[in-house]
Amino acid sequence: MYDLTSRDIKYVTGVGPQRADMLNKELGISTVHDLLYYFPYKYVDRSRFYTINEVDASMPYIQLKGEIIGFEAVGEGRARRLIAHFSDGTGVIDLVWFQGIKYLLNRYKVHQEYMVFGKPTVFNGRVNIAHPDIDAITEAVPAGLGLQPFYNTTEKMKRSMLNSHALEKVMASALKLLQEPLPETLSPQILQEHHLMPLTEAIANIHFPQNVELLKRAQYRLKFEELFYVQLNILRYASDRMHKYKGFVFGKVGSAFNTFYNSYLPFELTCAQKRVIREIRKDLGSGHQMNRLLQGDVGSGKTLVALMCMLIAIDNGYQSCMMAPTEILANQHYETLKSLLCDMDVCVELLTGSIKGKRRERILQGLQNGEVHILVGTHAVIEDTVEFHKLGLAIIDEQHRFGVAQRARLWSKSVSPPHVLVMTATPIPRTLAMTLYGDLDVSVIDELPPGRKPVATIHQYENRRAPLYDFIRKQVDSGRQAYIVFPLIQESEKIDLQNLEDGFERIKTAFTDYSICKVHGKMKAAEKDEQMQLFVAGKAQILVATTVIEVGVNVPNASVMIIENAERFGLSQLHQLRGRVGRGADQSYCVLVTGFKLSEETRKRIEIMVRTNDGFEIAEADLKLRGPGDLEGTQQSGIAFDLKIADLAHDGQLLQYVREVAQEVIKKDPQGELPENNILWKQLKTLRKSNVNWSAIS
């Protein structure tokens, strides 16, 4: 059988070394296999030709057949363009190019028959087609005139004439290379049972479908396969783990837990907190290693749940660690835990990059000899040469930034992997959760502590600053605190920082009688902490910040969140930011400040924010608006394999379906040894090998 994976694309007709290099650099395509799996992003019906006398500028992409009756180069400098007068006997239309004039004149001849494809527009009062695709009739796509594929290409590629159309031709020659069928990647049973198109047929039809029906079947087959392996991978991995590792048994609940519960717990747990703690306790005592995702909207009280689980670990003679994505958060967790534990005999230590020297050594030693019960830190904790005496439980806060591979690294910290609890405040749409954390059991805190009032969210245009400042003043005068957040992204970092500084000055001028502090990601850790502490301690009334405060910061007295340039934030980010207020008993406010000019999508985002406080609704909307690729952190946390064709926003049902198919396979074949599944396990292995994230695990 063919080994297409290894065949270099430069041998495909129409590619050659130069284009091969470009395809490799621009699209990461280096083999025929890569090429065939580079799918079109849209299709256009080319099943009929129009006549020139029918054409008007309101038409979408159309195709014509005829000949060039003459060329004309007009204009100077940037306006210089080549016009080809194109006729089909019913009329004449102008084809216009602003680039590649020399090439075009060389390539295309008058009085020869061509197919022209493009979008009619009006230019200088006449209908014409700018930068059309143009082909000799003989070069027509081999599949004939079905649906024409369109491929994404980069600017660089377009500049060297490797546009979608050129890629289409390359694709056609690659398909011609297939003398034999491609090795099938799904088992005959699965193909049959689910009425799937064979792979080779699907690949041919995804590029050159004769009709919509065939295209749909090809898409279904390829999406099925893609999602199936994502699920098979994650479920296989969970099942192996179940068989391979025994969990530490935390059999008892002892004095640490009980003392805290009876004498130190500052409030009644919510029903949801109680239920979740019960679920976790059951896992911890089961003899299986726990891998659980704890989802709870911002402010739902996850930290407390985490603490109580760590107390159970202590009662059973084990250490715990709790990791946060930033130093600020690690610090805050440390402070929170210390103050909750009060004078209890529990040793909590903080370990971050900025803790050095003697102090660090002392902590490391305490971890090794078991004196330290709870270690709070940043993710650096697992990278470092940190050794535990008996690590039994690892808690990861804000999982969105913490990938599967990193999770796996935790295991090397202990003879046997510790129980793992992943906490996330960002509600994850179900489809995404199944894909990213499909190996985890899920607990949900779906209830906020009593007395919380939903945050009132208001949209405000940026020219109405005076009433906005009045409003802040009123709140602060009544003893509250306010956040004012500015966007900061890497691409426009300089301008963004300047905006923040300007804003800071403006606010200082407007509020001379208040103390104002400032935090952003570019500051030194010590300075950041100092400023943050001013706000936490209530010494500063207004905190001007970038999104460093996005996750986890807890200042219950803060009741106002002003988000400047709100149009530049994604939905989940806005929701996270809003979650910083509404943590106390007072009515809180979130003001989204934007300019007048807003895109439709931005308007939708703002509307959703104003309408609802429900994190799950927001997460679903976010997925629909932006698509999963853009969801914060997905890249790092790594969907196991890149999704080339399936789309988590729209293929939720299929995902659920294939998950069940994958579950069935694993149930029947837990050891992966049934011959009928050979194809599946082999393919899974190939996929895992091609993915760095996963190689870290097996």
Which residue in 157, 171, 230, 298 binds ligand ADP (CB under 6 A)?
298
Residue 289 is encoded by which pair of tokens? 């290693």
Please report whether residue 615 would count as binding ligand ADP according to CB under 6 A. Answer: no
Please report whether residue 40 would count as binding Mg ion according to CB under 5 A. Answer: no
Q: Exposure of 361 by Cβ count < 10 A (0-12 exposed, 13-18 middle, 19+ buried)?
A: exposed
- Strand segments, DSSP code E, in 409-567 are 419-424, 441-445, 456-461, 481-485, 516-519, 542-545, 558-563
Token pair 């904790």 in the structure block, residue:
381
Please report whether residue 583 would count as binding ligand ADP according to CB under 6 A. Answer: yes
What's the min distance (Å) between Cβ of 194 and Mg ion?
42
Token pair 């500015």 in the structure block, residue:
486
Nearer to Mg ion, 377 or 552 (CB): 552
Of the listed pieces 86-94, 162-170, 295-303, 414-422, which binds ligand ADP according to CB under 6 A?
295-303
What's the min distance (Å) between Cβ of 338 and ligand ADP?
13
Please report whether residue 325 would count as binding Mg ion according to CB under 5 A. Answer: no
What's the min distance (Å) between Cβ of 337 and ligand ADP?
11
Alpha-carbon distance values, 77 to 22, 74, 126, 380, 437 (Å): 29, 10, 22, 56, 56
Q: What is the DSSP letter of 375?
A: E
Print the binding letters for residues 446-475 with Mg ion: x by CB under 5 A, - otherwise.
------------------------------
Nearer to ligand ADP, 275 or 288 (CB): 275
Q: Among ligand ADP, Mg ion, none, what binds residue 87 when CB lies within 5 to 8 Å by partner kind?
A: none
Q: What are the φ/ψ torsions at residue 129 (nearest 5 degrees)?
A: -125, 120
Do the Cβ atoms of 58 and 129 come closer than 8 Å? Answer: no
Please report whether residue 557 would count as binding ligand ADP according to CB under 6 A. Answer: no
Neighbours of 46 (CB within 10 A): 19
Of the listed pieces 337-345, 350-358, 544-552, 683-691, which binds Mg ion according to CB under 5 A?
544-552
**Helices 615-626 & 571-578 angle (0-180, nearest 10):** 160
Q: Among Mg ion, ligand ADP, none, what binds residue 221 when CB lies within 5 to 8 Å by partner kind?
A: none
Residues in a beta bridge with 591: 458, 562
Residue 480 is encoded by which pair of tokens? 């509250």
Q: Are strands 120-123 and 126-130 parallel, antiparallel or unpaired?
A: antiparallel
Please report whether residue 582 would count as binding Mg ion according to CB under 5 A. Answer: no
CA atoms of 612 and 602, how far apart (whole Å): 16
Nearer to ligand ADP, 332 or 406 (CB): 332
Q: Report the candidate in 311, 275, 310 with the shortest Cα–Cα distance to residue 296.
A: 275
Binding footprint of Mg ion, residue count (CB under 5 A): 1
Which residue in 190, 304, 308, 544 binds ligand ADP (CB under 6 A)?
304
Alpha-carbon distance values, 34 to 6, 23, 110, 448, 644 (Å): 10, 10, 38, 48, 11
Of the listed pieces 10-18, 209-217, 221-229, 298-306, which binds ligand ADP according to CB under 6 A?
298-306
What's the min distance (Å) between Cβ of 333 and ligand ADP?
9
Please report whether residue 427 would count as binding Mg ion according to CB under 5 A. Answer: no
DSSP string, 553-566: ---TTEEEEEETTG
Q: Among ligand ADP, Mg ion, none, what binds residue 400 when CB lies within 5 to 8 Å by partner kind?
A: none
Please report whether residue 296 would count as binding Mg ion according to CB under 5 A. Answer: no
Print the binding letters for residues 403-442 with ligand ADP: x by CB under 6 A, - otherwise.
----------------------x-----------------
Please report whether residue 40 would count as binding ligand ADP according to CB under 6 A. Answer: no
Nearer to Mg ion, 247 or 552 (CB): 552
What's the min distance (Å) between Cβ of 270 and ligand ADP?
5
Which residue in 63, 128, 239, 300 binds ligand ADP (CB under 6 A)?
300
Residues in a beta bridge with 484: 544, 562
Nearer to ligand ADP, 269 or 347 (CB): 269
H/E element holding 230?
helix 212-244
Give the alpha-carbon dihedral of 339, 341, 347, 353, to 10 degrees: -40
Please report whether residue 299 would count as binding ligand ADP according to CB under 6 A. Answer: yes
Alpha helices, H only, 511-593: 525-536, 571-578
Give the alpha-carbon dihedral of 507, 512, 517, 520, to 10 degrees: 20
CA atoms of 534 and 556, how far apart (whole Å): 14
Residue whose Cβ sits closest to ligand ADP: 301
Could you say which residues in the range 111-150 bind Mg ion, by CB under 5 A?
none
What's the min distance (Å) between Cβ of 9 and Mg ion?
48
Nearer to Mg ion, 148 or 332 (CB): 332
What's the min distance (Å) between Cβ of 378 and Mg ion?
14
Q: Exposure of 519 by Cβ count < 10 A (0-12 exposed, 13-18 middle, 19+ buried)?
A: buried
Torsion sign over Cα 406, 305, 333, 634: positive
Nearer to ligand ADP, 483 or 641 (CB): 483
What lies within 8 Å, CB to CB, of 620 at 6+ separation is 429
Please report whether residue 552 would count as binding Mg ion according to CB under 5 A. Answer: yes
Could you say which residues in the range 246-275 bind ligand ADP, by CB under 6 A?
267, 269-270, 273
Binding footprint of ligand ADP, residue count (CB under 6 A): 17
Please report whether residue 449 would count as binding ligand ADP according to CB under 6 A. Answer: yes
Could you say which residues in the range 513-532 bind ligand ADP, by CB under 6 A?
none
Which positions lie near Mg ion, rule CB under 5 A? 552
Which positions lie near ligand ADP, rule CB under 6 A? 267, 269-270, 273, 296, 298-304, 425, 449, 554, 556, 583
